[in-house]
Amino acid sequence: MTAIERLRRFLFATALAGIPLAHAGNGPVDLRAIDAVHGDAAAGKAKASVCSACHGPLGIAIVPTFPNLAGQKAEYLYWRLVMFKRAGKPESPMTAQAANLDDASMRDLAAYFASLPPAAGTAGTGTMPGAAIYRDGDPAAGVPPCQGCHGADARGRAGADGDPRLRVYPMLRGQHAAYIAQRIKDLAADASPFTSTSHVMAPIARTLDAASVDAIAHWLEAGAP
């Protein structure tokens, strides 16, 4: 075999082997092109009894460190369950709960909680400190407006009703402030977010200081705007 022939064989062999490039490693789960999540809400209700212990019988959590699930987007709920099932941290109570759920059950649960009426919240006003950050962000600190993804009324991203791809951004209106604050803190510390939406939110969470997080969380809990 000539040197040229050896070189040619080497080039073609390596080219066809498709050696992965370093940057083509495992990234976040891409939720940008997902299909709608369909589930049986009635079946989900039957499976939700264990959930109610923390999230309340109607999806409104009594303990404020647990999130309200009522009225949340089904796509968001489903992919949160997928995350707990595939990559949940051992210390999270949800990890063990999700471990035994099959895909259909996760879809049913998501459909059920999405069908419930959301928490009304208390009376929020536009003059609360969190209102301005939610609406305008804080350009000096690199904080974008929250409403860009979560909607001007905090009920989810604009256009979500007609596009399942936009329903992976959660409704925040009426959510417990303590849960929101903890969730933002967790996102800020998450070095390898599981989904593309967490991948977007994680660096934003890092730009928020404690006072801003507190202001936003309390304003959302109040049911603003």
Partner 1 sequence: MRTPRLLRPLPLAVAIATVVARAHADSGVGVDTWRANKLDPTGGATIDGCDERGTSWLEAGVHRSPTGNLYACPPPPPVTAGHGEWRTSGVLSIGAVATGGDDGNALWNRYVDWDGGIVLALLAFDAERAADGTYASVRASRVSDDDEYYQAVFGRAGSYKVQAFLRDMPNLVTNTAKPIWNGVGTDHLTLPAGYAAGASSPAAIAALSAATPERTLGVTREKQGLGFSVYLTPQWTAYANATDEQRHGARPFGGPFFFNFPFPDNGGVLETVKPIDDSTVNLEGGFRYAGRVWRMDFGYSGSFYRDRYTRYTYETPFALSPLVPNAVSAPLTTGQFATEPDNDYHNLKAAFTRKLPMNGELSITASGGRMSQDDTLIPPVACQGVFGIGLDGSLQTGPQNPYLYDCANWNTPAALSRKSADMRIDTSLLDARIVLQPATDLTVRGGLRYEREDYRNVYLAYNPLTGQYGYVSENGSQGSVVPGESGIWDPSDPSAITRVRSLPLDMQTTEANIGADWKLGARDTLGATLAFSRYEPTHRERSTVDDGSLKLSWTNRALDWLTLRANVTFLHQDGDRYDYDPYDFTYSIDLPGFVAPPTGVPAHTVDALRKYDVSSRNERKLDFMATFMPREDMTVSASLRGDWSDYDAELGRQGYDTLGATVQWEWQPAPGSNASVYYAYDRSKLRMANINEINDSGSNPSIGGNTYVDIGRWWADDTQRNHNAGVVFAHAFGRVRVDASWNYLYARGTTDYRFASPLALAWADTVIGDGPGGGTFAPMTYRIDSLSIGVRIPLHERVALRVFDVYERGRISDWHYLGFDATHAFDHRVYTDGGPQSYDANLVGLLLDVRL
**Binding site residues for heme c, as ranges?**
51, 54-55, 94, 146, 149-150, 201
Smallest distance, Å, CB 98 to partner 1? 24
Q: Does 135 bind partner 1 (CB under 8 A)?
A: no
Q: Does 196 bind partner 1 (CB under 8 A)?
A: yes
Q: Residues in contact with partner 1, total (CB under 8 A)?
A: 22
Q: Which of 20, 49, 100, 162 binds partner 1 (CB under 8 A)?
A: 20
CA angle 39/156/85 to nearest 5° reads 45
Q: How many helices (H) and strands (E) does the chain have?
A: 11, 0
**Cα–Cα distance for residue pair 28/162, rounded to 1 Å:** 25
Q: Which of 101, 200, 207, 225 binds partner 1 (CB under 8 A)?
A: 200
Q: Does 23 bind partner 1 (CB under 8 A)?
A: yes
Q: Does 4 bind partner 1 (CB under 8 A)?
A: no
**Cα–Cα distance for residue pair 85/29, rounded to 1 Å:** 13
Non-local (6+) Cβ contacts of 50 within 8 A are 97
Q: Under a CB-based contact definition with an 8 Å cutoff, are residues 65 and 179 in contact?
A: yes
Binding mask 148-177 toward partner 1 (x if CB under 8 A, else -) reads -x---------------x------------
Q: What is the DSSP string of 64-103?
A: TTSPP-TT--HHHHHHHHHHHHHH--TTSHHHHHHHT--H
Binding site for partner 1 (CB under 8 A): 11, 14-16, 18-24, 27, 30, 32-33, 140, 149, 165, 196-197, 199-200
